[in-house]
């Protein structure tokens, strides 16, 4: 998974390569990997979960109108993570941060609902 992928997309890819896995099995496997701290998920404005490896640490600004997600360049929690790790108060597998609003293009265009 180089890019985040939905369970539905993963299901479609596996079906096209003749892998006999059901959608429910894929969801269970992804949730199991998430509980182990190997996979993380984030939700799109449409409510679809996108899964990615934890090593791909990324945060987003997501437009509620057009759905565009813009990655943030830095992580505002990096120092807090280091403090917890040094103090051994919490074993953190991953975290997500997604801010929702309107991108500059949607702010400048009339509402097309």
Residue 86's domain comprises 5-108
Mean pLDDT by 10 residues, the chain (113 residues): 84 85 92 88 83 78 88 84 82 81 89 60
CATH number for the domain harbouring residue 65: 3.30.1490.190
CA-to-CA separations, 36 to 4, 76, 78, in angstroms, rounded: 18, 24, 21
pLDDT value of position 112 = 59
| Whole-number Å distance between alpha carbons of 88 and 69 | 33
Q: Does residue 113 lie within any of the structural domains?
A: no
Residue 104 lies in a domain: yes
pLDDT in the model for residue 74: 85
Domain annotation covers residue 68: yes
Please give the pLDDT value at position 1.
56
pLDDT value of position 104: 92
């Amino acid at each position: 998974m180089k890019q985040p992928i939905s369970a539905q997309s993963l299901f479609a890819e596996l079906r096209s390569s003749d892998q006999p896995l059901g959608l429910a099995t894929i969801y269970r496997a992804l949730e199991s990997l998430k509980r182990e701290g190997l996979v993380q998920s984030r939700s799109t404005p449409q409510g679809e979960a996108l899964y990615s490896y934890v090593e791909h640490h990324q945060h987003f600004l997501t437009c509620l109108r057009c759905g565009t997600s813009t990655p943030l360049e830095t992580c505002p929690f990096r120092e807090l993570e280091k403090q917890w790790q040094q103090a051994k108060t919490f074993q953190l597998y991953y975290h997500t941060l997604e801010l929702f609003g309107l991108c500059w293009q949607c702010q400048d265009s009339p509402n097309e609902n």
